[in-house]
Amino acid sequence: MSEAVARRKSPLPFALVLGVALLLPLLGKGGILASAILISALAGAPLFFIIGMVTVLCFILWAGFHQLTEFSVLIERIRTLADNPTLLAIPLFIMSGAVMSKGHISRRLIDFAEALVGWVPGGLAMSGVIACMLFAAISGSSPATVIAIGGMMGPTLIAAHYSERFSHGLLTSAGSLGILIPPSIPMIIYPIVNQGSVIEVERLFASGIGPGLVIGAILMGFCFVQGVRDKTPRSTFEFKKLGVALRDGFWALMFPALVLGGIYLGFFNAVEAAAISVVYAVVVEVFIHDAIKLRDVPAIFQETGIFLGSLLVIMVAALAFSEFLEGQGIPQVMVEWIRSMDLSQWQFLIALNLLLLVVGMAMDILSAMFVFVPLLAPVAAAMGVSPIHFGIIFIVNLEIGYLTPPVGLNLFVASALFEKPIGHVIRSVLPFIALMLIGLGLVTYVPAISVGLGDAIIDGLSDAPERPAPAPTPNPNAATPDEPETAPTPPPGGHHVQSIEEMMHELNEGAGSDAPPRAAPADPGHVQSIEEMMREAEGAADAGVR
């Protein structure tokens, strides 16, 4: 047995961490919480268990909950979550993305992108970025994009004399656009977690398009420079080749056009678009592309159901945890602390980005969103940052987090996919992290890229001419140019709707003609008669008209 293998099998590190975990409770409540997290991690507990346990312990240790009935807040969170219709979009988009990922979509998108820009210097590498962006708009998943596009484009780029490090770094980085280009699962979860603001998922989707295009353009610019410097081979542009690629990839390219176009044109909302995307994905891959069999679809949906079950537990626990934070006044304390520092908005945004970049190194985007959005969203709102802009900044930062150790998910996915050590992948993505930081700066300090474009898309389409309303049914009693309008004739044997004057006349008669007239009370606070109220109402109406 080699020395390296012996070190890996040594129980000493495990014993040291376990010893620390057992001693931490001596430090008080915070030590108990940290000990529970460490022991759960050592035991290999899943994420939903750890977040749920942290939530329950926080209520016990700091909120003083000891009876089961006091944990009704968790039940209330479940009910609130179930009442949120946007939640339905999550499993549906995951289902459609899973079906498309199993088919031939990635190959067709790569062929189309190569035919489109393969003739430009660095065009083959650019086509990899474009294919990642298109596939991201289908799957909504960053790791799935790396696997689907990187598995095919990696060997192709290396064979075309691109360096191994450049090829692996580019595809690992471009794949992270999967959480920024809509439809995106984090964009659906963000409005649910940020309950302090009313956020339209459709507007958030539209606001993600600009940042996705900007970061994609920055990566493609680097590809151009690399192609010129290394004199990489280029293909010749042919309209016939582009036409064939467009024909073969038509149904794949129609997916984002159908989903996003339908949302922004107002034909359906995000949830309806997600349902349509599932039907579209199954029809295209089973009956048009013949990529999967109909009998394989239930198994794909079953995998989605397992993922969704753990996600729902995490969301319930995270929402309950945010309520605990609110009950303890922690967001308000943070707001006052930030205000006491007298930071300007641009200084606050720098601090926010630095914090989120550190968070992205230690947590995946969903965990970070559940924990930090309830804490930071009120602070950002107090500093004048719109909730849409804050959400985009948050997602871009955590998108970079997919590429940063120690828990950058895309690093491990790329390491397994390309069969390279994790150190090689980390070194490969470093130049692309620098490029994405440039994109982050633009998104942060030029809100027009995200919020401005999103508002222009949504508001511009909402101002579009509406469909003509159906012609009104002719009214036989309506006045004509030569004939005055007549009173409505009651139907035979029926009852016509009384006018106010008729009802007043009946009320006065019902009071009895022999009743003595009532003198007005001397005080101004008397109870008015119906006639007096009607006169005042008519007087107010006349004044309003004038």
Q: What is the pTM of this model?
A: 0.71
Give residue 268's pLDDT: 83
Q: Say how many C-beta atoms besides its own lie within 10 A of residue 127's C-beta.
A: 28
Alpha-carbon span 500 to 534, nearest angstrom: 9
In whole angstroms, what is the distance from residue 486 CA to residue 394 CA? Answer: 65
Task: Give tens-digit pLDDT for 153-170.
Answer: 888 899 888 999 999 999
> Mean pLDDT in the chain?
78
Provide the pLDDT for residue 438: 95
Both structure tokens of 50:
């750890």
What would the DSSP string read from start to end of 60-117?
HHTS---SGGGGHHHHHHHHHHHT-GGGGHHHHHHHHHHHHHHTTHHHHHHHHHHHHH
Q: Which two tokens stand for residue 514?
A: 């022999």
Model pLDDT for residues 109-132, shown as the tens digit of each residue: 888 999 999 899 999 999 999 988
**Residue 463: what pLDDT?**
56
The residue-averaged pLDDT of 239-243 equals 91
Closest CA to 520 of 511, 532, 509, 512: 532
Other CB atoms within 10 A of residue 40 CB: 17
Lookup: tokens for 92: 């549906």
Nearest CA-CA partner of 59 in 378, 330, 328: 328
How confident is the model over 514-540, as pLDDT tens digits? 444 444 444 433 444 444 544 554 454
Closest by alpha carbon to 309, among 45, 49, 44?
49
pLDDT over threshold 90, residue 145: no
For the chain, state the CA radius of gyration. Answer: 31
Helix, strand, coil percent values for the chain (each to nearest 5):
75, 0, 25
Please tell me the distance from the alpha carbon of residue 185 to that of residue 365, in angstroms, as a whole number.
Answer: 10
Question: Which tens digits make up the pLDDT trace of 6-43?
Answer: 444 557 777 888 888 888 888 888 889 889 888 888 88
Token pair of 3, please?
A: 């020395």
Mean pLDDT for the stretch of residues 235-245: 89
CA separation for the pair 26, 8 (Å, rounded): 30
The pLDDT assigned to 406 comes to: 73
Angle, vertex CA 77, rays to CA 74 and CA 78, nearest 5: 90
What are the pLDDT digits (tens) for 346-387? 999 999 999 899 888 877 787 788 878 888 898 899 889 999
Q: Is residue 492's pLDDT more than 50?
A: no
Residue 472 has pLDDT above 90, yes or no: no
Query: What pLDDT is recorded for position 386?
Result: 93
pLDDT in tens, 262-275: 887 778 888 888 88
**Structure tokens of 114?**
């190569």
SS3 235: coil
More confident call, 98 vs 446: 446
CA distance 364 to 68: 31
Range 444-448, long-range pairs (CB < 8 A, 24+ positions): 444/349, 444/353, 444/393, 445/346, 445/349, 447/386, 447/389, 448/210
- What would the pLDDT profile of 271-320 be if each residue is shown by its tens digit? 888 889 889 889 988 998 888 888 888 888 887 777 677 777 777 777 77
Domain limits, the chain: 10-82, 86-462
